[in-house]
Amino acid sequence: MAQLAKDIGSLTFKPNFLLEKPELLARVGYIAAQWSEIEVLLGLLLANFLNLERKAALEMYMSFTNTYPREGLLKAAASTKLEKEIFDDFCDVYLKEIKNCAKQRNKVVHSGWATSNNYPDALIRIPLDKRVEFQEMSREIRVQSHSHSFKNFAQTLEVWTVKDFEDVSDKLEDLSCRLTATGKYHIKR
């Protein structure tokens, strides 16, 4: 799990900084690609629940651009095909796991990423809500750690190493494997 930054040093946040960290940049891209595959598998699960042609079900699922309507669609479809006990398990365990993985993916894909001279083998995660604060604090490309406002801001940043990206990736892989195991949920006859 990513750790909060202790002494951030200087923070570099500019469009091409990620090119300096190709291994870590690849991890961000891999997590995005994994989630794309999970979305396809969720569309196929919908096809299974509704006995629809796979392409049509995937198009239907992908037409919802927000997580909550997608969850509602899966839940409604599952309620028509799953026995009550299995449906409860689907909602209490499976949908919860999907939401947790979506949050982890969003944390990676929708955050700002920076580099720090004090963490040469890591990326510094700037949460979406903190990016505005960061932009207001300084219009400069490089922000120094000596200012009081920066020190307060830096205490909220996370240091992400290869291991942290791998942890998220492993969770997505586990979910993908569960979605691929088509026999998990038995359809009513």
In a domain, 189, yes or no: no
In a domain, 58, yes or no: yes
In a domain, 65, yes or no: yes
- Low pLDDT (below 70) residues in the chain: 15, 136-149, 182-189
Output the CA angle 74-77-80, nearest 5 degrees: 145
In a domain, 158, yes or no: yes
Please give the pLDDT value at position 67.
85
Residues 6+ apart with CB under 8 A from 129: none
In a domain, 17, yes or no: no
Q: Tens digits of per-residue pLDDT, 6-35?
A: 888 777 877 677 788 889 999 999 999 999
Taking a C-beta distance cutoff of 8 angstroms, is the pair 185, 82 a contact? yes
Q: Which domain holds residue 118?
A: 4-8+22-184
Please give the pLDDT value at position 136.
67
Q: How many domains does the chain have?
A: 1
What is the torsional sign of CA 116, 119, 125, 129?
negative
Q: Tens digits of per-residue pLDDT, 77-89?
A: 999 999 999 999 8
Please give the pLDDT value at position 15.
67
